[in-house]
Amino acid sequence: MKSIAELKNDEYINERLQGKKLPENFYVENQLALSIVAEDREKCSSCSGLEECTLPSRGQRRTFSYTDSLSEEIEYCPYARKIVLRKRIRERYVYCDIAQELLDLRLEDVNYTPDQKQLYLLLAAILHKKSDKGLYISGDLGVGKTYLCCALANSLVANKEKVAFVKVSNFFNEMKSFFSFNPQMIDANINRLKKVSYLFFDDIGSEAVSEFVRDDILFRILDYRLENKLITIFTSNLNKEELLKHYQYDRREKSNLMNAKRLMERIDILTDNYVLSGTDLRRK
Protein backbone atom coordinates (compact mmCIF):
# COMPACT_ATOMS: atom_id res chain seq x y z
CA MET A 1 0.00 0.00 0.00
CA LYS A 2 1.22 3.50 -0.86
CA SER A 3 2.17 5.91 1.90
CA ILE A 4 0.15 9.07 2.46
CA ALA A 5 3.10 11.11 1.22
CA GLU A 6 3.29 9.06 -2.01
CA LEU A 7 -0.43 9.49 -2.63
CA LYS A 8 -0.25 13.23 -2.08
CA ASN A 9 2.57 13.46 -4.62
CA ASP A 10 0.96 11.15 -7.21
CA GLU A 11 0.46 13.09 -10.47
CA TYR A 12 -2.69 11.23 -11.59
CA ILE A 13 -4.40 11.48 -8.19
CA ASN A 14 -3.56 15.19 -7.95
CA GLU A 15 -5.03 15.72 -11.42
CA ARG A 16 -8.29 13.99 -10.44
CA LEU A 17 -8.55 16.00 -7.22
CA GLN A 18 -7.54 19.37 -8.64
CA GLY A 19 -9.80 22.13 -7.32
CA LYS A 20 -11.58 19.84 -4.86
CA LYS A 21 -11.99 20.81 -1.21
CA LEU A 22 -10.90 17.72 0.72
CA PRO A 23 -11.64 16.87 4.35
CA GLU A 24 -8.64 16.76 6.66
CA ASN A 25 -8.61 12.95 6.95
CA PHE A 26 -9.30 12.28 3.25
CA TYR A 27 -6.04 10.46 2.46
CA VAL A 28 -6.17 8.34 5.61
CA GLU A 29 -9.74 7.19 5.01
CA ASN A 30 -9.12 6.47 1.32
CA GLN A 31 -5.54 5.24 1.48
CA LEU A 32 -6.29 1.71 0.27
CA ALA A 33 -8.55 2.77 -2.61
CA LEU A 34 -6.12 5.45 -3.80
CA SER A 35 -3.20 3.04 -3.51
CA ILE A 36 -4.95 0.56 -5.80
CA VAL A 37 -5.54 3.32 -8.35
CA ALA A 38 -1.89 4.45 -8.20
CA GLU A 39 -0.60 0.89 -8.49
CA ASP A 40 -2.81 0.18 -11.52
CA ARG A 41 -1.46 3.30 -13.26
CA GLU A 42 2.11 2.17 -12.53
CA LYS A 43 1.41 -1.19 -14.17
CA CYS A 44 -0.03 0.58 -17.21
CA SER A 45 2.95 2.94 -17.55
CA SER A 46 5.25 0.11 -18.69
CA CYS A 47 2.69 -1.81 -20.76
CA SER A 48 2.83 -1.89 -24.56
CA GLY A 49 -0.30 -3.94 -25.28
CA LEU A 50 -3.09 -6.07 -23.85
CA GLU A 51 -1.02 -9.23 -24.22
CA GLU A 52 1.32 -7.81 -21.53
CA CYS A 53 -1.47 -6.62 -19.21
CA THR A 54 -1.00 -7.56 -15.53
CA LEU A 55 -4.18 -5.90 -14.23
CA PRO A 56 -6.71 -8.16 -12.44
CA SER A 57 -9.13 -7.69 -15.37
CA ARG A 58 -7.24 -7.31 -18.63
CA GLY A 59 -7.50 -3.80 -20.02
CA GLN A 60 -9.58 -2.51 -17.10
CA ARG A 61 -7.97 -0.36 -14.43
CA ARG A 62 -9.33 1.18 -11.25
CA THR A 63 -9.93 4.92 -11.04
CA PHE A 64 -12.15 7.22 -9.01
CA SER A 65 -14.25 10.36 -8.96
CA TYR A 66 -14.84 12.73 -6.07
CA THR A 67 -17.68 15.04 -5.13
CA ASP A 68 -18.61 14.82 -1.45
CA SER A 69 -17.00 11.41 -1.16
CA LEU A 70 -14.72 9.16 -3.17
CA SER A 71 -16.41 6.83 -5.67
CA GLU A 72 -14.39 3.92 -7.03
CA GLU A 73 -14.75 3.33 -10.78
CA ILE A 74 -13.42 1.14 -13.59
CA GLU A 75 -12.11 2.44 -16.92
CA TYR A 76 -10.68 0.85 -20.05
CA CYS A 77 -7.00 1.45 -20.74
CA PRO A 78 -6.15 3.01 -24.15
CA TYR A 79 -5.47 -0.41 -25.71
CA ALA A 80 -8.77 -1.88 -24.49
CA ARG A 81 -10.62 1.31 -25.38
CA LYS A 82 -9.37 1.04 -28.95
CA ILE A 83 -10.72 -2.52 -29.19
CA VAL A 84 -14.10 -1.42 -27.80
CA LEU A 85 -14.31 1.46 -30.28
CA ARG A 86 -13.37 -0.83 -33.16
CA LYS A 87 -16.10 -3.26 -32.13
CA ARG A 88 -18.65 -0.46 -32.03
CA ILE A 89 -17.66 0.73 -35.51
CA ARG A 90 -17.86 -2.81 -36.91
CA GLU A 91 -21.33 -3.28 -35.41
CA ARG A 92 -22.60 -0.18 -37.21
CA TYR A 93 -21.83 -1.66 -40.63
CA VAL A 94 -24.51 -3.50 -42.56
CA TYR A 95 -21.71 -5.81 -43.70
CA CYS A 96 -18.06 -5.44 -42.72
CA ASP A 97 -15.00 -7.33 -43.92
CA ILE A 98 -12.36 -4.81 -42.86
CA ALA A 99 -9.19 -5.81 -41.01
CA GLN A 100 -9.31 -4.95 -37.31
CA GLU A 101 -6.35 -2.57 -37.47
CA LEU A 102 -8.00 -0.51 -40.24
CA LEU A 103 -11.21 0.24 -38.32
CA ASP A 104 -9.51 3.26 -36.68
CA LEU A 105 -8.99 4.98 -40.03
CA ARG A 106 -10.93 8.09 -40.94
CA LEU A 107 -10.57 9.82 -44.28
CA GLU A 108 -9.86 13.20 -42.69
CA ASP A 109 -6.92 11.69 -40.76
CA VAL A 110 -5.22 9.96 -43.70
CA ASN A 111 -1.73 11.12 -44.60
CA TYR A 112 -2.00 10.53 -48.33
CA THR A 113 0.97 10.28 -50.68
CA PRO A 114 1.33 12.59 -53.71
CA ASP A 115 0.12 9.72 -55.92
CA GLN A 116 -2.98 9.32 -53.74
CA LYS A 117 -3.97 12.99 -53.55
CA GLN A 118 -6.42 13.07 -56.46
CA LEU A 119 -8.14 9.88 -55.33
CA TYR A 120 -8.35 11.27 -51.79
CA LEU A 121 -10.16 14.34 -53.13
CA LEU A 122 -12.61 12.18 -55.10
CA LEU A 123 -13.37 10.10 -52.01
CA ALA A 124 -13.75 13.25 -49.91
CA ALA A 125 -16.32 14.52 -52.43
CA ILE A 126 -18.34 11.35 -51.87
CA LEU A 127 -18.06 11.71 -48.09
CA HIS A 128 -19.30 15.30 -48.20
CA LYS A 129 -22.07 14.46 -50.71
CA LYS A 130 -20.56 16.56 -53.46
CA SER A 131 -20.56 13.57 -55.78
CA ASP A 132 -23.43 11.17 -56.43
CA LYS A 133 -21.44 8.67 -58.49
CA GLY A 134 -19.23 5.78 -57.44
CA LEU A 135 -15.69 4.92 -58.47
CA TYR A 136 -13.93 2.02 -60.14
CA ILE A 137 -10.42 2.23 -58.69
CA SER A 138 -7.80 0.05 -60.38
CA GLY A 139 -4.08 -0.16 -59.80
CA ASP A 140 -1.19 -2.39 -58.84
CA LEU A 141 -0.85 -4.26 -55.56
CA GLY A 142 -0.19 -2.19 -52.45
CA VAL A 143 -0.73 1.31 -53.86
CA GLY A 144 -3.40 2.16 -51.26
CA LYS A 145 -6.73 1.39 -52.92
CA THR A 146 -8.18 -0.62 -50.03
CA TYR A 147 -6.57 1.61 -47.39
CA LEU A 148 -8.23 4.78 -48.67
CA CYS A 149 -11.58 3.08 -49.22
CA CYS A 150 -11.56 1.72 -45.66
CA ALA A 151 -10.96 5.26 -44.43
CA LEU A 152 -13.93 6.52 -46.44
CA ALA A 153 -16.17 3.64 -45.34
CA ASN A 154 -15.37 4.20 -41.64
CA SER A 155 -16.03 7.93 -42.01
CA LEU A 156 -19.40 7.24 -43.63
CA VAL A 157 -20.31 4.84 -40.83
CA ALA A 158 -19.29 7.46 -38.27
CA ASN A 159 -21.75 9.78 -40.05
CA LYS A 160 -24.47 7.14 -39.47
CA GLU A 161 -24.71 6.11 -43.13
CA LYS A 162 -25.70 2.54 -44.10
CA VAL A 163 -22.48 0.99 -45.43
CA ALA A 164 -21.33 -2.45 -46.57
CA PHE A 165 -17.64 -3.21 -47.16
CA VAL A 166 -17.16 -6.51 -48.98
CA LYS A 167 -13.97 -8.43 -49.70
CA VAL A 168 -15.20 -9.98 -52.90
CA SER A 169 -13.48 -13.39 -52.79
CA ASN A 170 -14.41 -13.91 -49.11
CA PHE A 171 -18.01 -12.92 -49.75
CA PHE A 172 -18.54 -15.29 -52.67
CA ASN A 173 -16.93 -18.19 -50.81
CA GLU A 174 -19.33 -17.49 -47.95
CA MET A 175 -22.30 -17.33 -50.33
CA LYS A 176 -21.36 -20.65 -51.92
CA SER A 177 -21.18 -22.27 -48.48
CA PHE A 178 -24.79 -21.29 -47.80
CA PHE A 179 -25.96 -23.71 -50.52
CA SER A 180 -25.34 -26.63 -48.19
CA PHE A 181 -26.72 -25.51 -44.83
CA ASN A 182 -28.51 -22.15 -45.06
CA PRO A 183 -29.67 -21.28 -48.61
CA GLN A 184 -32.06 -18.54 -47.44
CA MET A 185 -29.01 -16.51 -46.41
CA ILE A 186 -28.10 -16.07 -50.09
CA ASP A 187 -31.14 -13.92 -50.80
CA ALA A 188 -30.83 -12.22 -47.40
CA ASN A 189 -27.26 -11.10 -48.14
CA ILE A 190 -28.12 -10.01 -51.68
CA ASN A 191 -30.94 -7.86 -50.30
CA ARG A 192 -28.65 -6.34 -47.66
CA LEU A 193 -26.00 -5.34 -50.18
CA LYS A 194 -28.24 -4.08 -52.93
CA LYS A 195 -30.04 -1.62 -50.64
CA VAL A 196 -27.25 -0.02 -48.59
CA SER A 197 -26.49 3.63 -49.26
CA TYR A 198 -22.79 2.93 -49.89
CA LEU A 199 -21.43 -0.40 -51.10
CA PHE A 200 -17.71 -1.16 -51.40
CA PHE A 201 -16.61 -4.17 -53.46
CA ASP A 202 -12.94 -4.60 -52.58
CA ASP A 203 -10.63 -6.52 -54.92
CA ILE A 204 -13.25 -7.37 -57.49
CA GLY A 205 -11.89 -9.75 -60.11
CA SER A 206 -10.01 -11.82 -57.51
CA GLU A 207 -12.88 -14.32 -57.19
CA ALA A 208 -13.45 -17.47 -59.23
CA VAL A 209 -16.15 -16.84 -61.83
CA SER A 210 -19.30 -18.91 -62.20
CA GLU A 211 -22.79 -18.19 -63.49
CA PHE A 212 -23.90 -18.07 -59.86
CA VAL A 213 -21.34 -15.38 -58.98
CA ARG A 214 -21.78 -13.27 -62.11
CA ASP A 215 -25.48 -13.58 -62.90
CA ASP A 216 -27.26 -14.62 -59.70
CA ILE A 217 -25.41 -12.38 -57.27
CA LEU A 218 -23.39 -9.54 -58.80
CA PHE A 219 -25.81 -8.71 -61.58
CA ARG A 220 -28.82 -8.69 -59.23
CA ILE A 221 -27.05 -6.39 -56.76
CA LEU A 222 -25.68 -3.96 -59.35
CA ASP A 223 -28.86 -3.85 -61.44
CA TYR A 224 -30.85 -2.77 -58.37
CA ARG A 225 -28.23 -0.21 -57.36
CA LEU A 226 -28.19 1.25 -60.87
CA GLU A 227 -31.96 1.62 -60.93
CA ASN A 228 -31.95 3.26 -57.49
CA LYS A 229 -28.87 5.45 -58.05
CA LEU A 230 -26.95 4.09 -55.06
CA ILE A 231 -23.21 4.74 -54.73
CA THR A 232 -20.97 1.75 -55.38
CA ILE A 233 -17.17 1.77 -55.15
CA PHE A 234 -14.93 -0.95 -56.56
CA THR A 235 -11.24 -1.64 -56.11
CA SER A 236 -9.38 -4.02 -58.39
CA ASN A 237 -6.00 -5.02 -59.72
CA LEU A 238 -7.73 -5.33 -63.10
CA ASN A 239 -8.78 -2.52 -65.41
CA LYS A 240 -12.30 -2.66 -66.83
CA GLU A 241 -11.24 -4.36 -70.06
CA GLU A 242 -9.49 -7.08 -68.06
CA LEU A 243 -12.51 -7.43 -65.77
CA LEU A 244 -14.75 -7.98 -68.82
CA LYS A 245 -12.52 -10.89 -69.88
CA HIS A 246 -12.53 -12.19 -66.30
CA TYR A 247 -16.33 -12.38 -66.27
CA GLN A 248 -16.61 -13.75 -69.79
CA TYR A 249 -15.40 -17.23 -68.80
CA ASP A 250 -16.47 -19.47 -65.93
CA ARG A 251 -14.42 -22.24 -64.29
CA ARG A 252 -15.21 -24.62 -67.15
CA GLU A 253 -13.90 -22.04 -69.62
CA LYS A 254 -17.43 -21.65 -70.95
CA SER A 255 -17.80 -18.26 -72.63
CA ASN A 256 -20.75 -15.94 -72.12
CA LEU A 257 -19.68 -12.57 -73.47
CA MET A 258 -23.20 -11.14 -73.49
CA ASN A 259 -23.74 -11.65 -69.75
CA ALA A 260 -20.27 -10.29 -69.02
CA LYS A 261 -21.09 -7.16 -71.06
CA ARG A 262 -24.43 -6.73 -69.25
CA LEU A 263 -22.61 -6.79 -65.93
CA MET A 264 -19.86 -4.43 -67.07
CA GLU A 265 -22.40 -2.00 -68.48
CA ARG A 266 -23.81 -1.56 -64.99
CA ILE A 267 -20.35 -1.08 -63.49
CA ASP A 268 -19.57 1.51 -66.18
CA ILE A 269 -22.73 3.52 -65.50
CA LEU A 270 -22.39 3.29 -61.72
CA THR A 271 -18.78 4.50 -61.61
CA ASP A 272 -16.16 6.89 -62.85
CA ASN A 273 -12.90 5.20 -63.71
CA TYR A 274 -9.75 6.01 -61.72
CA VAL A 275 -6.31 4.44 -62.01
CA LEU A 276 -4.17 4.78 -58.88
CA SER A 277 -0.47 4.72 -59.66
CA GLY A 278 2.44 4.43 -57.26
CA THR A 279 4.75 1.88 -55.67
CA ASP A 280 3.84 -1.00 -53.35
CA LEU A 281 3.60 0.72 -49.95
CA ARG A 282 3.48 -2.60 -48.11
CA ARG A 283 7.12 -3.22 -49.04
CA LYS A 284 8.40 0.06 -47.59
Count of domains forming the chain: 2
Quick check: 75 and 61 in contact, CB under 8 A? yes
Confidence of residue 283 (pLDDT cuts 50, 70, 90): low
Co-location of 72 and 198 in the same domain: no
Query: Do 244 and 122 fall within a single domain?
Result: yes
Same domain as 102, residue 138 = yes
pLDDT in tens, 220-239: 999 999 999 999 999 999 99
Distance between CA atoms of residues 211 and 222, nearest Å: 15
Residue 284: what pLDDT?
61
Task: Report the distance separating Cα 154 and Cα 98, nearest Å.
Answer: 10
Task: Determine which of 28-32, 180-184, 197-201, 216-220 has the lowest per-residue pLDDT on average.
Answer: 180-184
List of residues 6+ apart from 68 with CB closer than 8 A: none
In a domain, 250, yes or no: yes
Query: Which residues form the domain of 74?
Result: 4-80
| Same domain, residue pair 251 and 209 | yes
Mean pLDDT confidence for 107-121: 95
Shared domain check, 27 and 166: no
86 domain residue, yes or no: no
The answer to whether residue 88 sits within a structural domain is no
Reply yes or no on whether the pLDDT at 30 is more than 90: yes
- Compare 51 and 247 and report the one with higher pLDDT: 247
Let me know if residue 87 belongs to a domain: no
Q: Are residues 130 and 262 in the same domain?
A: yes
Model confidence at 95: pLDDT above 70: yes
Q: How far apart are CA 166 and CA 234, in angstroms?
A: 10
Tens digits of per-residue pLDDT, 244-260?
Answer: 999 998 777 778 899 99
Supply the mean pLDDT for the chain.
93
CA nearest neighbour of 175 among 165, 162, 190: 190
Measuring CA to CA, how many Å separate 51 from each of 26, 46, 62, 84, 111? 36, 13, 19, 16, 29
One domain for residues 255 and 137: yes
pLDDT of 182 strictly over 90: no
| Separation of alpha carbons 148 and 123, rounded Å | 8
Q: Is the pLDDT of residue 50 over 90?
A: no
Average pLDDT over residues 139-151: 96
Does 198 share its domain with 275? yes
Q: What is the pLDDT of residue 38?
A: 95
Q: How many Cβ atoms are within 10 Å of 253's Cβ, its own excluded?
A: 7
Q: Are 140 and 280 in contact (CB under 8 A)?
A: yes
Strand pairing report for 198-202 and 163-167: parallel
